[in-house]
Chain A
Amino acid sequence: GQQVMQIPQYQHVQEGEDFTTYCNSSTTLSNIQWYKQRPGGHPVFLIQLVKSGEVKKQKRLTFQFGEAKKNSSLHITATQTTDVGTYFCTAGGTSYGKLTFGQGTILTVHP
């Protein structure tokens, strides 16, 4: 996979507030995936984006792939305590077989 940077590293929100995490690359990405890891759990696949400018929604989660295919975002509307966890992105590229992840964004939701 290609190298990506994630920001922010941590985000604390009150329940009901929105949350956004960003995944950025200096090079064009062929695709991007997002995963969620609950505290004490293992990463679970959320979605894959492939097309420039693509937007996909899963209930309160909105995923976007930038027009230049160099960045992506995950937005959660009206966070709930069940959204707590670490969100990772990973990008596909020319490195056959390798799968590396961004640093992750740790989301804490205060009830």
Chain B
Amino acid sequence: EADIYQTPRYLVIGTGKKITLECSQTMGHDKMYWYQQDPGMELHLIHYSYGVNSTEKGDLSSESTVSRIRTEHFPLTLESARPSHTSQYLCASRKGQGLKNTEAFFGQGTRLTVV
């Protein structure tokens, strides 16, 4: 079983609220990722990180921000939630081996509903 955890699993929040989605992994992986996925749809990469103090924007523009102060922790923050942010957010991690592709492990996801 993969050691990557997301909290909360479900979140219903009002418009305009600030929220932080937590993602932690205990595998010592350098590379971490955030995806946004609507039901039955694609996995859209919104942020990724090569390691501590490195963050990059993904292919899908997002109003969220991320930080990577510790290897094991990659939180995602929305400063002002809107109904358009309603979606599932998936966190993933994998070993950093240069250009070599390695297996990615996913968290259980956070289902966010903004009302």
Contact = CB atoms under 8 A, between A and B. Distances in A.
B57 to A, nearest CB: 11
A20 interface: no
B11 to A, nearest CB: 16
Q: Range of interface residues on chain B?
A: 20 to 34
A99 B99 CA distance: 11
A43 B90 contact: yes
B28 to A, nearest CB: 16
B29 to A, nearest CB: 11
A43 B94 CA distance: 13
A48 B106 contact: no
Q: With a 10 A CB-CB cut-off, give which of A1, A86, A99, A103 has the most chain B CB atoms.
A: A99
A42 to B, nearest CB: 4
What are the 3 closest A-B residue pairs judged by CB atoms, nearest first? A92-B101, A42-B106, A45-B103
